[in-house]
Amino acid sequence: MEKMACVSTVSSRTMFCHLDAPANAISVCRDATQVVVAGRNIFKIYAMEEDGFVERLNLRVGRKPSLNFSCADVMWHQMEENLLATAATNGAVVTWNLARPCRNKQEHLFTEHKRTVNKVCFHPTEVHMLLSGSQDGFMKCFDLRKKESVSTFSGQSESVRDVQFSMKDYFTFAASFENGNVQLWDIRRPDRYERMFTAHTGPVFCCDWHPEDRGWLATGGRDKMVKVWDMTTNRAKEIYCVQTIASVARVKWRPERRWHLATCSMMVDHNIYVWDVRRPFIPFATFEEHKDVTTGIVWSHQHDPYVLLSGSKDSTLYQHIFKDASRPVDRANPEGLCFGLFGDLAFAAKESLMTGEAGRKPYPAGDRRYPIFFFKKPDVTEQFAQVASALSVFESEADGSSRMDWFIKTARRYLLSGKPFAELCDHNAKVAKELNRPQVSTTWTMLRIMFSDPGNPALPANHNMSKLGNIPLMNSFNLKEMSSALNERNKENRQDNLHNLETNLNNDENEETEGSDGQAEYLFGDAELDDDDLYSMEHENQAEEAEFSLPQEAFPLRHEIVDHPSAPEPPAEKPESPQVSGSEAESFCLTPMESISLISVSQLLYQPQLPPSFFCPVVREMLDYYAEQGDVQMAVSVLIVLGDRIRKEIDELTQEHWYMSYIDLLQRFELWNVSNEVIKLSTCSAITCLNQASTTLHINCSNCKRPMSNKGWICDRCHQCASVCAVCHHVVKGLFVWCQGCSHGGHLEHVMEWLKSSNHCPAGCGHLCEYT
């Protein structure tokens, strides 16, 4: 009955009026007919009438208004309609009695706080009780019949930003703090808070008790979140969380709507949002009238969910009507797109959109698609528009390029340390080849050739020779296999490739130099090699070129195919291409003759002018190239294997970046061991410290169940050996394995042995343990 009356008296349209100054806070009287606006330079009462706001009373009196009028907050008593309280920026708490006959309505002045008072709050049912929270970290409870506070609550932490009496629990109030904490107090016990928890990072600007649900508390903070806490449990439990786009200044539950609350922000964003906490991603409704930040919001009546009042820094006071609110959900595009770990693609869109294109031709890359339809059971209490969307999953081809199998296999099988450099390279080259990644494989071989020779002029020449002897042989072995693969490629590509090679060259070079050029090109993955570099290589060592010439034949091809599949081929090239036909080049290097000649000139190859560091710029470019291509695995692996040989070439930040990316990838594929190995082998301090964190495992003594404090195996409380093997009853001084269920355990091998023959716990506790 009362509710009906109230709704009818208030005009139901959106309206506003100009204030003379920015507002800091507003409050309505119980019957929703009048609103008080308070700010630094304003303190007025307006009546809400049919055709707009009408100024009723200006409480700011006196020639030179004191700072007591500079209000940070205001509250209208919900039972005593003549009573108001304000919090002043200078630390005063003032109460006002509208029934006073003179112009100055000020009744009490409490100046007990040392700093700005941020919030005042009347008790919802107790007429004379007023609570205040201040910047000085204290909360004070005033009995309005007395001249001073009756109790002081010390938060023992930073400034108090908000205080709110519980709606349902007579003695309880909540206080929110600048350091992110929320405390619950019993009004009868000023010595200590009942409960404290950290709600936000950074200040908690506001809190609000749910008007009906006992124990639901909404908090809003500078971290842009609104959280709803259930306080009925032992520990405050976060049950809902809404992420907004700006720090949350005020939060108010919507009357009669259990899951709705209104928020406004402290900075930047001027809108008022009404959220359904169950749908945290999009506001239920938005009021967009204000031109500057909204500082105060209040629902006009505790049983009327349709009218919201707001004051703002732009010096306006608004009455918002729900039917005029904009509904963001109507404008939203319910579509989503996501890549899966293994290259699959999921796409969800409105059902109507998806069915419309059913007759379309199949998606070219993915062969299959699974339309999956989700139906969320419509909840009538949610007034959200129901959207049905269709989800399609496009699986990548079984061995398409987007599959990540190669990544996992490579990661598992690569060797990064523990063997001589040359062996590591060979191993990794083999792995890459087996996984059908010839380019990578050849890169490893190249690296081995470039760096594995000591290149030290002090070494005897024959030693040099013998080491070198392997290389050409190894190479030709590789070549044989590669060339067979090569033969399958069609001629066109080869020509295409050759054309590329030749454009790099001056045309008068002989076959061998073409090879070297191609080699270089293959190494860098692009054709931007400096001419100077080319020449220096050519002139200094012909043999090396010969050695490298063939692998190049196989691989640039592949590379070119990927990179320039449709490069137009100038007809002028045709006559030249037969000059270097693939077979010709292959045969020339495979002959033993050539190998011998390689050895014979290899002295030249490792002249002191060409130390391994000569290749560093080249290798650096190559690593950059791989990283750019998205194969950060290669970049990191080479970095680790080459170690000091290359590390100084690449700046720390880049290295760190590569490591981080690779480790991130490895962890996504759950390759924990590999990722840890990489972390261990990395030299960046930022990376190595990754596995230094939380390496301590706290254990309790198995006898007395108290924490083990000191190192060693003896518990210093009960003086017994703590970690005894349940099988052999000796102390375990190494790997200790224990059952997660009954917490008995022992030596790894003993427990393994035991559980092979028995299902029960070796300690005889009766637990059915399992070893996997």
Partner 1 sequence: MMMDGRDVVAMWEGLASRDAASRDAAMESLQQEMMRRVESIGPLPETPCSSSASHLNRVLARILMLSKRCPYGDVREKCIWLLRSIQDIGVRIPRPLGNGPSRFIPEKEILQVSKVDARTQSIFEEAFSLGHLDNISLVMGFHPQYLESFLRTQHYLLQMDGPLSLHYRHYIGIMAAARHQCSYLVNLHVNDFLQVGGDPKWLNGLEGAPQKLQALGELNKILAHRPWLLTKTHIESLLKAEENSWSLAELIHAVVLLTHYHSLASFTFGCGITPDIHTDGGHTFRPPSLSGYCVCDIANGNGVAEVSGEVEVLMERMKQLQECRDEEEASQEEMTTRFEREKTESMLVATAEDEECVPSRDVSRHFEDPSYGYQDFSRRGEHVPTFRVQDYSWEDHGFSLVNRLYPDVGQLLDEKFQIAYNLTYNTMATHQGVDTSMLRRAIWNYIHCMFGIRYDDYDYGEINELLDRSFKVYIKTMVCSPEKTTKRMYESFWRQFQHSEKVHVNLLLMEARMQAELLYALRAITRYMT
Site stretch for partner 1 (CB under 8 A), options 83-91, 139-147, 408-416, 524-532: 83-91
Q: Which is nearer to partner 1, 313 or 680 (CB)?
A: 313
Compute the distance between CA of residue 390 and CA of residue 347 in angstroms, rounded to an integer.
Answer: 8
Closest contact distance (angstroms) between CB of 405 and partner 1 is: 33
Residue 115 contacts partner 1 per CB under 8 A: yes
Which residue among 205, 240, 555, 662 contacts partner 1 (CB under 8 A)? 205
Task: Determine contact, residues 723/736, Cβ cutoff 8 Å.
Answer: yes
Q: Which is nearer to partner 1, 69 or 522 (CB)?
A: 69
Which residue among 44, 200, 222, 448 contacts partner 1 (CB under 8 A)? 222
Residue 203 contacts partner 1 per CB under 8 A: yes
Residue whose structure tokens are 């001084």: 733
Q: How many Cα neighbours within 13 Å face the side chain of 549?
A: 30
Phi then psi for residue 550, to 5 deg, are -80, -45
Q: Enter the DSSP assignment of 103.
A: S
Which residue among 292, 324, 367, 397 contacts partner 1 (CB under 8 A)? 292
Task: Determine contact, residues 762/742, Cβ cutoff 8 Å.
Answer: no
Around Cβ 413, how many Cβ atoms within 10 Å? 15
The vertex-631 CA angle with 628 and 634, nearest 5°, equals 115
Compute the distance between CA of residue 604 and CA of residue 622 in angstroms, rounded to an integer.
Answer: 25
Residue 147 contacts partner 1 per CB under 8 A: no
Site stretch for partner 1 (CB under 8 A), options 8-16, 84-92, 489-497, 736-744: 84-92
Task: Determine contact, residues 236/218, Cβ cutoff 8 Å.
Answer: no
Closest contact distance (angstroms) between CB of 301 and partner 1 is: 30
Residue 747 contacts partner 1 per CB under 8 A: no
Closest contact distance (angstroms) between CB of 90 and partner 1 is: 4
Task: Determine contact, residues 302/124, Cβ cutoff 8 Å.
Answer: no
Which of 558-565's residues contact partners 24+ apart within 8 Å by CB, and which partners?
A: 558/438, 558/439, 558/489, 559/439, 559/522, 559/525, 560/493, 560/496, 560/497, 560/500, 561/493, 563/526, 564/496, 564/500
Q: Which is nearer to partner 1, 212 or 292 (CB)?
A: 292
> Footprint of partner 1 on residues 149-178 (CB under 8 A)?
178
Residue 289 contacts partner 1 per CB under 8 A: no
> Footprint of partner 1 on residues 309-348 (CB under 8 A)?
313-314
Which residue among 119, 254, 270, 558 contacts partner 1 (CB under 8 A)? 270
| Tokens standing for residue 332 | 């939203």
Which residue among 90, 286, 383, 504 contacts partner 1 (CB under 8 A)? 90
H/E element, 393: strand 389-394
Which residue among 54, 67, 341, 353 contacts partner 1 (CB under 8 A)? 67
Tell me how many residues contact partner 1 (CB under 8 A): 35
Which of 102-108's residues contact partners 24+ apart within 8 Å by CB, and which partners?
A: 103/61, 104/61, 104/62, 105/57, 105/59, 106/68, 107/144, 108/142, 108/144, 108/147
Closest contact distance (angstroms) between CB of 491 and partner 1 is: 46
Closest contact distance (angstroms) between CB of 149 and partner 1 is: 13
Residue 294 contacts partner 1 per CB under 8 A: no
Which residue among 12, 33, 40, 529 contacts partner 1 (CB under 8 A)? 40
Residue 91 contacts partner 1 per CB under 8 A: yes
Compute the distance between CA of residue 718 and CA of residue 591 in angstroms, rounded to an integer.
Answer: 79
Residue 267 contacts partner 1 per CB under 8 A: yes
H/E element, 286: strand 285-287
Closest contact distance (angstroms) between CB of 649 and partner 1 is: 8
Q: What is the largest CA-CA distance in the chain?
A: 120
Site stretch for partner 1 (CB under 8 A), options 108-116, 366-374, 748-756, 759-767: 108-116
Site stretch for partner 1 (CB under 8 A), options 8-16, 59-67, 279-287, 327-335: 59-67
Around Cβ 453, how many Cβ atoms within 10 Å? 20
Q: Classify 279 as helix, strand or coil.
A: coil
Task: Determine contact, residues 262/294, Cβ cutoff 8 Å.
Answer: no
Residue 70 contacts partner 1 per CB under 8 A: yes
Residue 612 contacts partner 1 per CB under 8 A: no
Site stretch for partner 1 (CB under 8 A), options 49-57, 86-94, 428-436, 715-723: 86-94
Closest contact distance (angstroms) between CB of 309 and partner 1 is: 21
Which residue among 23, 45, 293, 580 contacts partner 1 (CB under 8 A)? 293
* Interacting residues toward partner 1 by CB under 8 A: 40, 64, 66-68, 70, 72, 88-91, 111, 113-116, 135, 178, 202-203, 205, 222, 246-247, 266-268, 270, 291-293, 313-314, 648-649
